[in-house]
Amino acid sequence: MRAVDVPGAFRLVVPGNVRALDPAPAMFEAMLAGWQQQQRSRLLARKTIEDRLSLVRRFALFTGTYPWEWTPEDVEAYFSHRLSGETPLAHSTVRGQQGDLQMFCAFVTDARYGWTSACQEAFGQFPVQVCHDWNTADHVAEFEGWPRRRALTYDELQALFDAADDRVEQARKRRRKGVLASWRDAVLVKQIYAYGTRRRETSMLDLPDLRHNARAKAYGRFGALEVRFGKASRGSPPKRRTVLTVPEVDWIVPVLEEWVSEVRGSFSPGAHPALWMSERCGRLGVRRIDEVFTEIRNHAGLPEELELHCLRHTYITHLIEFGYPERFVQEQVGHAYASTTALYTWVSDEYRNRLLEASLARRLERKGGTGRGPR
């Protein structure tokens, strides 16, 4: 295969009959444009590509140099700086950004794309790989999120729901605008917990996504939730899954029924299909969903480390505690691997004690009631 045939190659990005007045920044922008084309050809999401390009620009701005001048020491200096601020990057973020920077360097140093020879001819230097095993973070732990992120306890979950309902009552007493929005917010956080949906999944729900389940006819149209915008793998469209309404949280059925039949129409949605409407008759956005949870959490006086995604942790944990098989839980939340589901599980001491008591009871039965085994 010729270099010119590869998406993102130098000859496909830079016209042969054009010479830039300032060649260094022009070459850098051409590199970024070529990398963008190469990633598009792999069907990567636009946001993924934009985030990677932004990282490379920030790295170049920090070093004050261009890719053909970068050194491994620049990588160490950049990430040391990012880790020493008031809000240091999470371990997973650092590892991800280092991987993205490594991919960019692999692109511009690949002879098939022609960037090394172009830089050598223009500047007498050529780019090299600057991210190595000895100056980047290793993936040594399965869970790299913040240790403070966790599932809510049963008391905290009840306090969250009580605070959501209290905001509705307070708005009613004030007799001001905000009753409908507060009502929506209260149902919203309950739905996120009851089905373990992510932010974007929740935002993109439409009325037709409320589904019947032939095995749970008593729930009517709320027997299942069709998630059509699940978290996508690289280069693939959003994943779809059906989340069944489990009996332990079937209290969500009348709550959603009331929202759909009595409250949602007050937002004047018209023909808009979104399940969650904004005050401006549009789809409720991801950022606003985050803000809603924060407002309710603060109203409940819960710790600040609890964030919206913790409701998903809580849902998974409770399904395990309810006794559902791991495979069922994995399918409910849309995880490709059971190990991912296990990372979200934070079973309570009460649940573990129940398992311990059951184990002790079985042992007593086997030992004829003495409970004395080998010492």
User: What are the pLDDT digits (tens) for 296-316?
Assistant: 999 999 999 999 999 999 999
Token output for 248? 């332990």
What letter would DSSP give residue 5? Answer: G
Of 133, 261, 254, 275, give the one whose Cα is nearest residue 203: 275
pLDDT single digits (tens) 212-254? 999 999 999 999 999 999 887 766 788 999 999 999 999 999 9
CB 38 within 8 A of CB 32: no
Side-chain half-sphere CA neighbours of 192 within 13 A = 30
- When the pLDDT of each residue in the chain is averaged and rounded to a whole number, the result is 88
pLDDT single digits (tens) 82-117? 888 778 787 878 989 999 999 999 999 999 999 999
Residue range 37-50: average pLDDT?
91
Of 170, 210, 165, give the one whose Cα is nearest residue 190: 165
Share of the chain above pLDDT 90, in %: 67
Residue pointed to by tokens 């089905």: 195
Token output for 142? 């399965």
Distance CA 335, CA 276 (A): 24
**Pairing of β 239-244 and β 224-230:** antiparallel
115: which residues sit within 8 A by CB, 6+ positions away? 10, 31, 34, 107, 108, 109, 127
What does the pLDDT read at residue 142?
46
What does the pLDDT read at residue 148?
63
Residue pointed to by tokens 């849309």: 334
Q: Which of 2-6, 124-128, 287-291, 354-358 has the lowest average pLDDT? A: 2-6
What percentage of the chain's residues is helix, strand, coil (to nearest 5)?
Answer: 60, 5, 35
Is the pLDDT reported for residue 360 higher than 50? yes
Is the pLDDT reported for residue 56 higher than 70? yes
What does the pLDDT read at residue 149?
72
Distance between terminal CA atoms of the chain?
A: 71
β partners of residue 239? 230
What does the pLDDT read at residue 45?
85
pLDDT single digits (tens) 169-206? 999 988 777 899 999 999 999 999 999 999 999 999 99
Phi, psi of 308 (to 5 degrees): -55, -40
CB 98 within 8 A of CB 75: yes
> How would residue 167 be classed by pLDDT, with cut points 50, 70 and 90?
very high
What does the pLDDT read at residue 87?
80
Determine if the pTM surpasses 0.75: no
What does the pLDDT read at residue 3?
44
> How would residue 18 be classed by pLDDT, with cut points 50, 70 and 90?
confident
Position with higher pLDDT, 231 vs 341 = 231
Polymer length of the chain: 375
What does the pLDDT read at residue 2?
47
> How would residue 19 be classed by pLDDT, with cut points 50, 70 and 90?
confident
312: which residues sit within 8 A by CB, 6+ positions away? 192, 196, 197, 198, 333, 344
Is the pLDDT reported for residue 1 higher than 70? no
β partners of residue 242? 226
Is the pLDDT reported for residue 346 higher than 70? no
Distance CA 153, CA 73 (A): 45
What does the pLDDT read at residue 375?
43
What does the pLDDT read at residue 139?
52
